[in-house]
Structures are given as structure tokens and as C-alpha cells.
């Protein structure tokens, strides 16, 4: 994700108060259009959960990362959480962990740090 080719489909979204974040879709699907259309509804929920997870795991300093990157895509059938979610968003702030969000109808159905 961090070394995605420049022609990889991507969008940049506002993530107040942190600035902006680039979301790439390395699967080449149309998930980015869903993120773009619904970001204003998704971000407050993602932000709240992310801040809570960072605080709980002692990683609040990670929220001050100079560059925010993410990968967003449709979940493939028969993978973790695909029975409950449609979209997957994985946020990387520093090296580890990555912060995974599983989303259905603009609602977070599960989120977790992955070390």
C-alpha cells in the first residue's frame, strides 16, 4: 500500500482535525466511489473508533502521523468478516499496527488493530 504505483486508483479525503488521507484500491474495484460518496458519514465513526483504539492500546501518538494512508476495497467472499461487512478500510499511520475497519451500509461492524 505505501509503495503503490502512481497509477493505482486512489482518492484523497479530509480527516479533520488530522488533515487528509489517501485511500488506494489496489483491487481495482469501484469501492473508492463508495468511500468518496459516503466519507462525510463514515469519517466521524471511523475517527471515534480509531481514537479509542489508539488510546486503549497506548498508541495515541500515532494519530500525529505526518502522512495518513489507507487501503479501501470491497471484501471478497469467504474472508474474515465478509458475512457481516461489505467494505474494508485499513489505515496505516506509522509502521504498525494497521487499523482495520469492516463496514456495511456506512456503519462500522468491526474494527481492530493488526500488529
Question: Which of 48, 68, 52, 71 minimizes the C-alpha distance to 60?
Answer: 52
pTM, entire model: 0.92
| pLDDT in the model for residue 8 | 87
Residues 107 and 39: beta-carbon distance below 8 Å = no
Q: Angle at the Cα of 8 (from 5 to 12), degrees rounded to 5?
A: 110
Q: What is the mean pLDDT of each run of 10 residues along the chain (115 residues)?
A: 71 97 90 97 98 96 95 94 96 92 97 95
Chain CA centroid to CA 18, Å = 14
As beta bridge partners, residue 100 has 90, 112
| pLDDT in the model for residue 3 | 62
Amino acid at each position: 500500500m505505501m509503495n503503490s504505483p502512481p497509477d493505482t486508483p486512489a482518492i484523497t479525503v479530509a480527516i479533520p482535525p488530522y488533515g487528509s488521507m489517501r485511500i488506494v484500491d489496489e483491487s481495482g474495484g469501484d469501492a473508492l466511489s463508495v468511500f468518496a460518496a459516503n466519507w462525510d458519514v463514515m469519517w466521524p465513526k471511523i475517527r471515534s473508533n480509531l481514537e479509542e483504539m489508539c488510546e486503549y492500546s497506548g498508541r495515541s501518538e500515532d494519530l500525529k502521523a505526518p502522512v495518513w494512508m489507507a487501503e479501501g476495497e470491497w471484501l471478497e467472499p469467504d474472508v474474515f468478516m465478509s458475512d457481516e461487512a461489505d467494505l474494508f478500510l485499513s489505515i496505516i499511520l506509522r509502521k504498525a499496527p494497521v487499523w482495520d475497519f469492516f463496514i456495511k451500509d456506512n456503519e462500522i461492524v468491526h474494527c481492530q488493530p493488526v500488529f
